[in-house]
Amino acid sequence: MQYVDEFRDSRLIKKTIEMIQQLADPTVHYRIMEVCGGHTFSIYRFGLHDLIPSNVELIHGPGCPVCVLPMGRIDEGLRIAEDPKVILTAFGDMMRVPGQTGSPLVLKAKGRDIRMVYSPLDSLKLAKEHPKKEVVFFAIGFETTAPATALTLLKAQEWGIKNFSVFCNHVLILPAIRAILDSPDMRLDGFIGPGHVSTVIGCRPYAFVAQNYKKPIVISGFEPLDILESILRILRQLKEKKSEVENQYGRVVLWEGNRTALKLLERVFELRSYFEWRGLGFIAQSALKIKKEFSYWDAELRFGTQGITLTDPKAAQCGEVLKGVLKPYQCKLFGRSCNPEHPVGALMVSSEGACAAYFHHVYQKTEV
Amino acid sequence: MKKEQCIELAHGAGGKSSRKLIEQVILAECKNPLLEPLADAAIIEWDKTRFALTTDSYVVSPLAFPGGSIGELAVNGTVNDLAVSGAKPLVILSSWILEAGLSMEVFQREVKAMARAAKASSVIIAGGDTKVVEHGKGDGLYITTTGYGLVEPGVNLGPHRVEVGDKILLSGPIGDHGITVLLARGEIELEATLKTDSRPLWPMIEPMIRLEPAAIKWMRDPTRGGLASVLNELAHDIGFGIMIEEELIPIRQEVRGACEILGLDPLHIASEGQFVAVVDQKKAVDFQKLLNDTPGGEEARIIGVISDKPSGKVVALSEYGGSRMVDMLIGDPLPRIC
């Protein structure tokens, strides 16, 4: 497959690993955070953690949209689905995420009309096909998925579809990175920057990481060679005592981002003053809200959501894992009461969640 | 509030939840030596003859998809459960649950498909049943088939025979059926020329048995839950490890592409026309060559080995030295969003 096989070429991968080994100073312990859950998944899926020197530690960041969604928001969404008139739609990732009394799949099994969609536009089509129902799209994701939600809201307005609304949980990556950099227990040397988000926002907005916090950040693709090359570039910057924004994923990410997508976001959304993140708490201006002009299609207004805040189960240490303070297997619940079949925390749900990626793919350290 | 336990779709997806449901609910109540191996077919010995008995239900949606349909699948699936038990398929019983309002044309089409598949496998439809349920209570039609076959002399299959060093042989590319059905549902607009791989396996398994039945130790067809689930069940049963080499596993470009886009693991995707066998290491190459010379087995490969560790787990090795654990499917495969 073009653009996939080239980046899984074993000869080039071996060569890049050799270069990483040569560049990494054995007396230094490097801590590099991959911000995006897609990177976490790839690192374990391809066993990259096995291949790099042990003093180059990869720390999993907050870039899995399912993982950072607090339980209160999930319960609000599920409460909407309790209405027999409602068809609740969500991406596949969301279907197993646990709320207080069960996941969307559990509620579906009990007879609620909850359906998986591949795009928010499919949800809008569903509303057209079921005019007597209220179709609600449970929107999650970073800047990657938000433009599709924005486009769907514009279409709903244009087509005058009245039985459709969006429960908006879109969050922004930059405030999350800033919160991590400001966290007192955080010691990081560099970042593997999120590839998908950057296709929308570009590379320029990450300048504060390099300039204010003096940390190198390399926007990276998701294939093994992409990630290894990004690690190499970070090590090179560290050796040369530089901190710059670099774009390794140039075949997809433009420095200025996708202007059309950014305009869509600006047209439909505004910033929330605060939004709660699982594990990171409330972060100012870190999420998107549907603008007044589109408020007719805002499920929060239509169904009167209450802003429920729920604390995670006490023993679950999702927050520490999300901030990279703990490795997944160091959480007290990992592999015991929290496993992919019965996830207690969201990090165990999505394949991009650090705990699920660890549980599924790493065999040496999961013997619990 | 306490979470109330109920049956979820995951319990029927062939992965971890299905296995637990069977072990903790069905096996707990109905335990007996025939059921306990949880094999594809029960092997019953009667007057020095061993016969195999199996049953399966088919609830696929849509009813027809590129390369096949439910009627044909119901026969092939059951004759394959017999074949991987080392039994020559002989007789099928078929039970139909029809939804009121189903077009007679569709019913006739599926009966014809079943008859055609039975003829191709040289099995007879010896009996069955039809029931009709109210409109809206059954997805068009469901089929349950029960199969009966005779176990070939010299065949002795089961996890108890598997030893460290044995090789894992796969008959051909995996995932064609699962991805074909996923695309046929029309929920995602991906174009692919893929067809189901539904086909009878006995024509490939019989020559292996003729060559040396004692060297074949275990066989399964990787249907729901895919190759990952059947290998995990084996690892769990034998207590040894299983090492597979990812680049040796044949996967068609279309299947790989769809899995990449949807964030699915091809090892979790169902096949309906492949089998995986554990064979004696000394005979593995002979079996592979034999399959490669048999129509339909051209792409058969030795994909891995039984190892002493990690105990009870399946590990995939990449060609550049990385490794990952391959877990059973949890629930249905759900696509990632980004």
ipTM entry: 0.80
Render pLDDT for B255-286 as a digit per residue (tens, 0 to 9): 998 998 888 899 999 999 999 999 999 999 99
Q: Give the SS3 label for residue B156.
A: coil
- Closest Cα in chain A, distance from residue B5 (Å): 9
Answer whether residue B1 shows pLDDT above 60. Answer: no
Q: What is the pLDDT of residue A367?
A: 40
Q: What is the pLDDT of residue A318?
A: 84
- Closest Cα in chain B, distance from residue A191 (Å): 19
Render pLDDT for A101-151 as a digit per residue (tens, 0 to 9): 788 998 998 999 999 998 999 999 999 999 999 999 999 999 999 999 999
Cα distances from A146 to residues A170, A173, A299, B213, B288, in angstroms, run 6, 12, 16, 58, 50
Among A360, A183, A145, residue whose Cα is nearest residue A264: A145
Answer whether residue B334 shows pLDDT above 70. Answer: no
Q: Cβ contacts of residue B77 below 8 Å, gap of 6+?
A: B56, B58, B145, B198, B223, B272
Token duo for residue A363: 């065999």
Answer whether residue B4 shows pLDDT above 70. Answer: no
Domains and CATH numbers, chain A: 6-58+188-247 (3.40.50.11750), 66-171+267-303 (3.40.50.11740)
In three state form, how does the secondary structure of chain A look?
A: CCCCHHHHCHHHHHHHHHHHHHHCCCCCCEEEEEEEHHHHHHHHHCCHHHHCCCCEEEEEEEECCCCCCCHHHHHHHHHHHCCCCEEEEECHHHHHCCCCCCCHHHHHHCCCCEEECCCHHHHHHHHHHCCCCEEEEEEEECCCCHHHHHHHHHHHHHHCCCCEEEEEEEECHHHHHHHHHHCCCCCCCEEEECHHHHHHHCCHHHHHHHHCCCCCEEECCCCHHHHHHHHHHHHHHHHCCCCCEEECCCCCCCCCCCHHHHHHHHHHEEECCEEEECCCEEEECCEEEECHHHHHHEHHHHCCCCCCCCCCCCCCCHHHHHCCCCCHHHCCCECCCECCCCCCCHHHCCCCCHHHHHHHHCCCCCCC
Q: What is the pLDDT of residue B2?
A: 46
**Residue A205 dihedral angles phi and psi, to the nearest 5°:** -65, -10
Of A91, A105, A367, the CB nearest to B8: A105
Chain A residues close to B187, C-beta within 8 Å: 117-118, 122
B186 touches chain A (CB under 8 A): no
Chain A residues close to B321, C-beta within 8 Å: 14, 47, 50-51
Percent of chain B scored above 70 by pLDDT?
A: 97
CATH architecture of B37-151: 2-Layer Sandwich (3.30)
Q: Are B327 and A359 in contact (CB under 8 A)?
A: yes
Q: Give the SS3 label for residue B175.
A: coil
A362 touches chain B (CB under 8 A): yes
Chain B residues close to A47, C-beta within 8 Å: 318, 321-324
Token duo for residue A359: 């549980």
Answer whether residue B337 shows pLDDT above 70. Answer: no
Q: Do B324 and A362 touch (CB under 8 A)?
A: yes
- Closest Cα in chain A, distance from residue B332 (Å): 10
Q: Do A48 and B322 touch (CB under 8 A)?
A: yes
Render pLDDT for B50-93 as a digit per residue (tens, 0 to 9): 999 999 999 998 999 999 999 999 999 999 999 999 999 999 99
Count of other CB atoms within 10 angstroms of residue A204: 12
Of B3, B17, B338, the CB nearest to A101: B3
B134 touches chain A (CB under 8 A): no
Confidence of residue B335 (pLDDT cuts 50, 70, 90): low
Average pLDDT of the residues in B283-296: 98
Q: What is the pLDDT of residue A363?
A: 60
Answer whether residue B315 shows pLDDT above 90. Answer: yes
- Closest Cα in chain A, distance from residue B207 (Å): 35
Token duo for residue A144: 């990657």
Angle at A153 between CA A151 and CA A158, to 5 degrees: 90
Least confident of A14-23, B23-32, B169-178, B182-191: B182-191
Chain B residues close to A109, C-beta within 8 Å: 6-9
Least confident of A182-191, A290-299, B150-159, B175-184: A182-191
Token duo for residue B50: 């061993």
Chain B residues close to A41, C-beta within 8 Å: 336
Confidence of residue B169 (pLDDT cuts 50, 70, 90): very high
A38 touches chain B (CB under 8 A): yes
Of A44, A51, A96, the CB nearest to B321: A51
- Closest residue in B to A115 (Cα) is B187
- Distance in Å from the first CA to the final CA of chain A: 38
B137 touches chain A (CB under 8 A): no
Q: Are B202 and B318 in contact (CB under 8 A)?
A: no
Render pLDDT for B87-138 as a digit per residue (tens, 0 to 9): 999 999 999 999 999 999 999 999 999 999 999 999 999 999 999 999 988 8
- Closest Cα in chain A, distance from residue B62 (Å): 17
Q: Do B335 and A350 touch (CB under 8 A)?
A: no
Cα distances from A259 to residues A120, A141, A263, B87, in angstroms, run 21, 19, 6, 63
- Closest residue in B to A12 (Cα) is B320
Tokens 């000869």: give the residue.
Answer: A11
Q: What is the pLDDT of residue A365?
A: 40
Chain A residues close to B313, C-beta within 8 Å: 363
Q: Is the alpha carbon torsion for B214, B215, B220, B225 positive or negative? A: positive
B320 touches chain A (CB under 8 A): yes
Count of other CB atoms within 10 angstroms of residue A310: 15
Q: Do A116 and B331 touch (CB under 8 A)?
A: no
- Closest Cα in chain B, distance from residue A340 (Å): 7
Q: Side chain identity at A53, as an amino acid letter?
A: P
- Closest Cα in chain B, distance from residue A95 (Å): 8
CATH homologous superfamily of B159-326 equals: PurM-like C-terminal domain (3.90.650.10)
Question: What residue segments make up the domains of chain B, in order of their start?
Answer: 37-151, 159-326
What string of pLDDT tens digits covers the 368 residues of chain A?
767 778 888 899 999 999 999 999 999 999 999 999 899 989 988 889 889 999 999 998 888 888 889 889 999 999 999 999 999 999 988 888 888 878 899 899 899 999 999 899 999 999 999 999 999 999 999 999 999 999 999 999 999 999 999 999 999 999 999 998 998 777 899 999 999 999 999 999 999 999 999 999 999 999 999 999 999 999 999 999 999 999 999 999 999 999 999 999 999 999 999 999 987 889 999 999 999 999 999 999 999 987 877 777 778 888 888 777 888 999 999 988 888 878 888 788 777 788 988 888 886 544 43
Q: Do B336 and A118 touch (CB under 8 A)?
A: no
Q: Do B16 and A50 touch (CB under 8 A)?
A: no
Render pLDDT for A9-58 as a digit per residue (tens, 0 to 9): 889 999 999 999 999 999 999 999 999 989 998 998 888 988 999 999 99
Q: Do A122 and B263 touch (CB under 8 A)?
A: no
B311 touches chain A (CB under 8 A): no
- Closest Cα in chain A, distance from residue B172 (Å): 20
Answer whether residue B336 shows pLDDT above 60. Answer: no
Of A4, A46, A361, the CB nearest to B325: A361
- Closest residue in A to B324 (Cα) is A361
